[in-house]
Amino acid sequence: MRLILDTHALIWFVQDAARLPQATKDAIETAAEVFVSAASLWEMTTKHRAGKLPEIGPLLADYERIFAQDDIRPLPVDLRHAALAGGMDGEHKDPFDRMLCAQAIVENLTIVSADKALDAFGVVRLWHAA
């Protein structure tokens, strides 16, 4: 299985947070490939700067090493992703979520997210209830 982590799933996985269901954590750990979008790093730094995610300071200070240690591969945003994200129909307006869904679709990835609203974009979503 090839996965892309929604931003909250990424944070919870890296921090080994109890909010991430064990079965979801196991799926991430056994996946063939796990990706983090450049959009997630953008979202995290934006929210951290705004004071919304103060607890992720250590992650942001050392993200390259942390992602490499957890075998999480970077996924840049490219023009195909941008075109699809901008053109997607739907009520969900969060540009970061739209980009992650577009990347999941274009790259044939399963998105790991607790956010059921993403299903409206036609992505394959993985999340196990706690």
Q: Where residue 44 sits, what CATH number does that domain have? A: 3.40.50.1010
Question: Tokens at residue 49, please?
Answer: 């700067």
Q: Residue 118: helix, strand or coil by DSSP?
A: helix
66: containing domain: 2-126
pTM of the complete model beyond 0.85: yes
Instruction: Report pLDDT for 93.
Output: 81
* Number of domains comprising the chain: 1
Instruction: Report pLDDT for 10.
Output: 98
Q: Residue 50: helix, strand or coil by DSSP?
A: coil
- Torsion angle defined by CA atoms of residues 120, 72, 82 and 52, in that order, rounded to the nearest 10 degrees: 70
Residue by residue, pLDDT tens for the chain (130 residues) are 999 999 999 999 999 999 999 999 999 999 999 999 999 999 999 999 999 999 999 999 999 999 999 999 999 999 999 999 999 987 778 999 999 999 999 999 999 999 999 999 999 999 998 6
Residue type at 112?
V
* Distance of alpha carbon 18 from alpha carbon 79, whole angstroms: 36
Query: Do residues 1 and 110 touch, judged by C-beta distance below 8 A?
Result: yes
